[in-house]
Amino acid sequence: MAIAIKDISVKDIRFPTSRNLDGSDAMNAISDYSATYVTLITDREDLKGYGLTFTIGRGNDLCVSAVKSLAELFVIGRTLEEITANFGQFWHELVSGDCQLRWVGPEKGVIHLATAAIINALWDLWARSENKTVWKLLVDMKPEEVVKCIDFTYITDVLTPEEALTLLRRVESGKAQREQEMFEYGFPGYTTAAGWLGYSEEKMRQLARQAVADGWTHLKQKVGADLEQDMRRAAILREELGWDRKLMMDANQIWGVDQAIAAMRKLAQFDPLWIEEPTSPDDILGHAAIKARIGDIGIATGEHAHNRVMFKQFFQAGAMDFCQLDPARLGGLNEVLAVVLMAAKFGVPVCPHGGGVGLCQYSLNIVLFDYIAVSASLENRVLEYVDHLHENFEEPLVIKRGRYYPLQQPGYGVKMKAQTLLDYSWPDGREWLN
């Protein structure tokens, strides 16, 4: 029996994270971590799909409106089966089928963030209907089935469906073993918990010490507001981490190309594994220029790269050493699959963005699929962990000694608790009325 999508509910959920300066960095000083939260309502009482897109406060209302416009045109009244039967084609229709809504993107900004919430809710619904997690649904697919979920528009010059098939088949035989390995040993993570710019140096040191005690081997520091301060903080972090653990740095787009080069030459003494978002997220050639001039520090970027065409070029230009795709900035999982496969072709490790509400959950599904079914490698792969707000989701994340363990409840992992939806609804939830 086909599952019909009868309606959609979209909520504007905002958490007052700015009160504690959680999430503060050089670009984003006062963020209220937020979600455009989508529930797909079906004709089955016991089956719904849950998805979200991540924003940091104001502007979330725009994404809510955009979701409603897209859903009305393309989702409500369809069946899950007709959508998933040719999911790549459906995705194409959603992003290009209405030229009027496409115009205010195209495939970027508000309209693409909205696309992500819808698409990810559809994946959640699909996985729930199969009683699987999203990562397991993907891992169990035949290569042909994965490829059918991808819209290859604008990327066939670097990746054809046939090449994608070849990449997936290459590692097919080891899938069961790697899946088992993930349950036993988990996937390596890193933490940004100590590194926010708004925290005092003393608080940072204590959190870093705690992180080391908790078994984290990789820690990320926010930089870019003040170079002297960055160096002082890096020195503190190195004191706590030693030199065997990895230190990453994140500038959150604050620099121009020349500034980035100058700053990283000073910060190189602290041996960062990568510099993240050193300049404008749109500046592919700028990232390539920075990379060429800062020695062997890796370039990490992607959380603001808005679609597969941007990633294609970052790969072509050799301007991205760590692929930090964002599961909700890209137009949902279908587009993520395209980027994961291009990354595999170019040998770039995928380390998705986790710094936001629900992003760790999404990204965990993605890295499990990438490791088990695409890259078959853990080299240079680490998944960001940000430790706040997880209590709002029904399924807890399992982190032990700096490693993530597979999600196990059916779906994509971002279903929020009913109380959270009541308390943090904006502007009328209890937390905002107070």
Q: Cite the active site residues.
A: 222, 353
Contact flag: residue 206 with a second copy (CB under 8 A):
no
How far, in whole angstroms, is CA 286 from its chain's centroid?
23
Strand pairing category for 187-191 and 383-385: parallel
Q: Decide whether 305 or 372 has the Cβ nearer to a second copy.
A: 305
Please give the residues from 380 up to 419 whose contact with a second copy meets the rule CB under 8 A: none
The closest of 63, 71, 68 to 113, measured between CA atoms, is: 63
Q: Which of 44, 48, 22 is nearest to 33 (CA)?
A: 22
- The correct pick among 20, 89, 156, 177 for binding a second copy (CB under 8 A) is 156
For residue 281, say if its preceding peptide bond is cis, omega within 30 degrees of 0. no
Is 301 a residue that touches a second copy (CB under 8 A)? Answer: no
Report the distance separating Cα 404 and Cα 418, nearest Å: 25
Nearer to a second copy, 21 or 376 (CB): 21
Binder among 45, 157, 228, 296 for a second copy (CB under 8 A): 157
Does 345 contact a second copy by CB under 8 A? no
Contacts (CB under 8 A) with a second copy, residues 70-129: 96, 98-113
Provide φ and ψ at 265, rounded to 5°.
-65, -30
Q: Out of 48, 132, 218, 304, name the contact with a second copy by CB under 8 A.
A: 304
Q: How far is the CB of 70 from a second copy (least distance, A)?
A: 10
Among 79, 206, 210, 280, binds a second copy (CB under 8 A): 280
Closer residue to a second copy (CB): 316 or 380 = 316
Question: What's the rounded Cα separation, in Å, for the pair 229 and 347?
Answer: 35
* 427 lines the binding site for a second copy (CB under 8 A): no
Give the one residue of 3, 66, 267, 382 binding a second copy; rule: CB under 8 A: 66
Restricting to residues 208-267, which ones interact with a second copy according to CB under 8 A? Answer: 253, 256-258
152 vs 405, which CB is nearer to a second copy?
152
Nearest-approach distance from CB 283 to a second copy, in angstroms: 5
Which positions lie near a second copy, rule CB under 8 A?
A: 27-32, 55-63, 65-66, 69, 96, 98-113, 153-157, 253, 256-258, 279-286, 289, 304, 306-307, 309-310, 312-313, 316-317
